[in-house]
């Protein structure tokens, strides 16, 4: 039976790379994917990996009914064997419902990829709905690492090189950007709680075993 599968993980753990790998493997078997994405770092209508791989995709804007889009594509003779949805955390909850309907009513597999929580450690609405509806939730096995060497579990946003915990939930950026820009970094929970990014650790000449004492 067809499934709605949610592949989740932090930033920088290979989600988009896996999405492209699934598309490559299935296309080699003659299967045709319909790829959706939202706010990819490479620009509108693109699915990109940090390894440098890029492919075209349909931008899943809030006004797009994904179920109707697939039905329209198929009714016009387009072939759709399965769906890949990258940056799924940015989708509206009702669009996740539409993905579930595609699985149930059109009997198509849907592979969704996204991060679970934002820089404030709060669930993205799209990710929350995926967790509620998905047939399977898979945690990516390629673990991103905090600067201290521990497994990274949280996404941090930086502005001007300084970690922030307030602001709009969705601001497109990337890991490893220039200090004066909005950027992101993956951290373990301990260092996210203490707002200790790699830059802050270097500035304070700290090791993973020498941490500031906080009351939080």
Q: Domain of 42: which CATH number? A: 3.40.50.300
25 and 100 share one domain: yes
Question: In the prediction, which pLDDT does 16 show?
Answer: 80
19 and 86 share one domain: yes
More confident residue, 131 or 50: 131
Rg (alpha carbons) of the chain, rounded to whole number: 19
Stated pTM of the model = 0.76
Query: Is the Cβ–Cβ distance between 51 and 17 less than 8 Å?
Result: yes
Query: Total structural domains in the chain?
Result: 2
Show which of 139, 172, 193 is a domain's final residue: 139
Instruction: Tell me what the pLDDT averaged over the chain comes to.
Output: 85
75 and 169 share one domain: no
Average pLDDT estimate for 202-208: 63
CB atoms within 10 A of CB 152: 25
In a domain, 211, yes or no: no
Residues of the domain holding 87? 4-139
Q: Is 215's pLDDT higher than 80?
A: no
Average pLDDT estimate for 122-137: 96
In a domain, 167, yes or no: yes
35 and 80 share one domain: yes
50: confidence class by pLDDT, cuts 50, 70, 90: low
Question: In the prediction, which pLDDT does 213 show?
Answer: 47
The closest of 188, 152, 135, 179 to 11, measured between CA atoms, is 152
Query: Is the Cβ–Cβ distance between 195 and 165 less than 8 Å?
Result: yes
102 and 187 share one domain: no
Query: How far is Cα 187 from Cα 148, in angstroms, rounded to an integer?
Result: 8
In a domain, 173, yes or no: yes
In a domain, 122, yes or no: yes
42 and 127 share one domain: yes
Residues assigned a catalytic role? 87
Nearest-5° Cα angle at 118, 114 to 122: 115
Question: In the prediction, which pLDDT does 78 show?
Answer: 95
The closest of 69, 118, 128, 119 to 96, measured between CA atoms, is 128
For residue 19 the two structure tokens come to: 């999405």
90 and 38 share one domain: yes
42 and 108 share one domain: yes
119 and 174 share one domain: no
Query: How far is Cα 162 from Cα 180, in angstroms, rounded to an integer?
Result: 9
64 and 21 share one domain: yes
75 and 171 share one domain: no
pLDDT, tens only, 167-181:
777 676 555 554 457
Query: What does DSSP say about strands 182-187 and 174-175: parallel, antiparallel, or unpaired?
Result: parallel
Query: How far is Cα 24 from Cα 22, in angstroms, rounded to an integer?
Result: 5
For residue 56 the two structure tokens come to: 């075209």
In a domain, 162, yes or no: yes
110 and 175 share one domain: no
CA 26 to each of CA 58, 71, 81, 114: distance values in angstroms, whole numbers, following the listed order: 19, 21, 10, 20
Q: Is 92's pLDDT higher than 90?
A: yes
133: confidence class by pLDDT, cuts 50, 70, 90: very high
Q: Is 199's pLDDT higher than 90?
A: no
């Amino acid at each position: 039976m067809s499934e709605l599968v949610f592949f989740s993980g932090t930033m920088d753990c290979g989600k988009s790379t896996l999405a492209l790998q699934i598309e490559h493997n299935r296309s080699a078997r003659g299967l045709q994917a319909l790829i959706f994405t939202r706010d990819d770092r490479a620009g509108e209508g693109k699915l990109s990996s940090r390894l440098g791989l890029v492919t075209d995709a349909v931008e899943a804007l809030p006004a797009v009914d994904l179920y109707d889009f697939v039905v329209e594509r198929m009714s016009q003779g387009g072939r759709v064997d399965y769906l890949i949805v990258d940056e799924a955390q940015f989708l509206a909850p009702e669009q996740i419902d539409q993905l579930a309907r595609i699985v149930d009513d059109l009997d198509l597999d849907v592979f969704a990829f996204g991060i679970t929580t934002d820089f404030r450690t709060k669930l993205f609405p799209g990710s929350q709905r995926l967790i509620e509806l998905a047939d399977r939730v898979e945690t990516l096995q390629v673990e991103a690492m905090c600067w201290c060497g521990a497994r990274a579990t949280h996404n941090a946003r930086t502005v001007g090189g300084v970690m922030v915990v307030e602001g709009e939930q969705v601001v497109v950026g990337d890991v490893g950007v220039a200090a004066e820009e909005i950027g992101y970094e993956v951290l373990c929970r301990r260092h996210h709680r203490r707002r200790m990014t790699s830059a802050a650790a270097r500035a304070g000449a700290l090791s993973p075993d020498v941490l500031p004492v906080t009351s939080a």
